[in-house]
Chain A
Amino acid sequence: MNMNELFSEAQAISSPQLRDDIVQQLYSRSRELCDVGVSYTKTKADTRTEKLDAIFTSKIWGFPIMLIMLGVVFYLTIAGANIPSSMLAEFFGWLEGYITSVFQFLHAPDWLHGILVLGLYRGSTWVISVMLPPMAIFFPTFALLENYGYLPRVAFNMDRLFKFVGAHGKQSLTMAMGFGCNAAAVMSSRIIESPRERMLAILTNNFVPCNGRWGILIVLASLFMAANFTGGFKLLVTTGVIVGIVLFGIVVTFFVSWALSKTLLKGVPTHYTLELPPYRRPKFFDTVIRSSLTKSWTVLVRAVKVAAPAAILTWVLANIHIGDTSILLHMVEFLDPFGKMLGLDGYIMLAFILGLPANEIVLPILLMGYLSTGSLTEVDSLVDLKQIFLDHGWTWVTALNVMLFSLLHYPCGTTLVNIYKETKSKKWTFLAFLIPTVLAIVVPFIVYQTAKLLGWV
């Protein structure tokens, strides 16, 4: 007799209410155990959590508070990251001078200096100076909110919206994970019981920007969107633009979830219980150290691991010539007409294609492409950076469309691999690639054509 036969035999004698009886018995035994093993010395329950919940999850204040929290986190990140970022960039530039001297001293060939210093070194240090400071602020701030117990309240507030579009309320938790890393968030969708709603969460997770995309979003927002403002106001505008982009991503998440749940993934959202844990004061020091050092470090190591080979590849592509133009330029020219339709250009398209392994490297590759030498110039200040873009015909619409493309486009390689692992389906993995890609083409196209029609560009 094998297990399948035993299963059928058990099913034959089982009854529909057996599960209920089992669960009920487990619960009543738990109650009996508590009756004898637990006693209460205070009769008055602690109402602090209830009082806070009345504010944080209130119908009136819930959403404004969420928006403010989001804004504050980004504001702190952007405001705090500026100075350390430029300090790091200066430091790496200063160090590069010495490294170059060593190469000259050793009479190293030019191509070696090109690959190692102008490609590898500049590529990776750029990623470090742009990404490390924002991450070191964003992660701890977010972790503090998380450990305090605010995230489940966000899920609670968003629940109705998700239900409305036919998705699961817990999708807001996986969405929140996505702000850190989409690849991790795809795995975290395991908390959603129903396969249908889990698939919705997986397919739409990409529409929240992960830390690999913060860099490009923050840089472009502060360079182009807040260009006419100065001082504190500039920071506010930049923050506003970032919050706007994030909100747009959330709107797209709702829209795509809704469209899918009406077509490919038809169904009614299942009920679930969401636990609202008590608010706990986070262990401040532990949380900050753990998330800023450990988490930033792991993310950074990953970024550099991908950035280093990508930087070398870009350098090689830009310096090997077929005919009288480099391979890089051939590719750019091929992609240019398509990019132009979206208000972008061939360099930008190529950067996003080469950036498939990790979103972190899109901006460095783009810069390397723009500079005729094929290596990243020392970008000591953001003003230098803006000049490079302006020299290649950028307007604020270009910047906006790059941000939109970055927000909406296909998930990075790691995320796609995770989607395949979680869904075990080539079809769904392909859809997870296709849906964002189509959106990333359509939305900038509409924006650019509208802007052209209205005579803005």
Chain B
Amino acid sequence: MNNSYRIALAGNPNTGKSTLFNAFTGLRQHTGNWAGKTVSLAEGTVRHKEKNYQIVDLPGTYSLFSNSVDEEVARNYIVFEKPDITLVVLDATSLERNLNLALQVLEMTKNVIVCINLIDEAEKKGIKINERILTRKLGVPVIKISARNKIGFPMLLDTIDRLVSGKIECNPVQTTYNEEIEEKITTIESKISNLVGNTISSRWLALRLLDGDKALLTEFNRRLVLNDQVRREA
């Protein structure tokens, strides 16, 4: 019986991931109004429509380029632990800066839901967000919520449910870069996919290798060794 799923919460620091996590799980993860409060993974569970969801609260980061340990922790979880859904939590009051991270996540994994949090605060400030347009442009569901006041939760849970049961599908729209970069991606992408198959997005990996992400390389090799060990022992 497979009705248990894992959901990772990603997003910029201080966008309310931990508040959403608490609201979901009823757990009392410490929350605070400052960037960098969550540095390790917190886990909890929620049940909805006969399905169990394990929620993982990732550290908040501005990017996923492995600049610091918490970025690596978040990146490794999304790429290597492969949650069934990655919820990207964005701050509605500074969407432009926040979307940047969402775009990076869309390159890394397929099943993504974009949660625009603090929507009540944004509306007070006169910010109107058209989530339909964003959904179409991003190729993944975009949902407006307020984790603090539990606005938009039924919609969010429903979308999660429909995504894991295959009623809707995500087709994340990839960011296209300039010709020069695209050419380089094409040069090595096929070799990468020969090596990793479809376990990791080869386009994303190509970009990371071009960027010279040593930390990712180390992590990749470490996991390869671990996998070999497991295989040998089996």
Contact = CB atoms under 8 A, between A and B. Distances in A.
A7 B207 CA distance: 11
Contact of B33 (A3, A41, A277): A277
A34 B96 contact: yes
B192 interface: yes
Interface stretch (A12-20, A90-98, A240-248): A12-20
B96 A278 contact: no
Given A26-B104, A187-B40, A295-B30, A6 B191 contact: yes
A31 B96 contact: yes
Interface string B93-118: 10111011001100000000000000
B172 interface: no
Contacts, number: 172
**Majority SS at the chain A contact face:** helix
B68 A192 contact: yes
Given A29-B103, A33-B134, A7 B209 contact: yes
A49 to B, nearest CB: 11
Interface residues of B, number: 66
Interface in B184-208: 184, 187-188, 191-192, 194-195, 206-207
B133 A36 contact: yes
A380 B166 CA distance: 66
Contact of B207 (A4, A22, A38, A277): A22
B201 to A, nearest CB: 15
Contacts of A46: 125
B103 A18 contact: no
Given A14-B210, A173-B34, A37 B39 contact: no
B33 A147 contact: yes
Interface stretch (A62-70, A148-156, A326-334): A148-156
Given A25-B178, A40-B127, A190-B39, A291 B30 contact: yes
B188 A3 contact: no
Interface range on chain A (Cβ under 8 Å from partner): 35 or more
Interface of B: 13-14, 28, 30-37, 39-40, 59, 62-63, 65, 67-70, 73, 93, 95-97, 99-100, 103-104, 121, 125-131, 133-134, 137-138, 148, 175-178, 180-181, 184, 187-188, 191-192, 194-195, 206-207, 209-212, 217, 220-221, 224
Which 4 pairs from chain A and chain B are nearest by CB?
A42-B126, A191-B36, A10-B209, A30-B99
Interface of A: 1-4, 6-7, 9-11, 13-15, 18-19, 21-23, 25-27, 29-31, 33-34, 36-42, 45-46, 143, 146-149, 151-152, 155, 170, 173, 187-188, 190-193, 198, 273-275, 277-280, 282-283, 290-291, 294-295
16 contacts: A10-B188, A11-B209, A13-B210, A19-B65, A19-B211, A21-B181, A25-B177, A34-B96, A34-B99, A190-B73, A274-B35, A275-B14, A277-B14, A280-B121, A294-B28, A295-B30
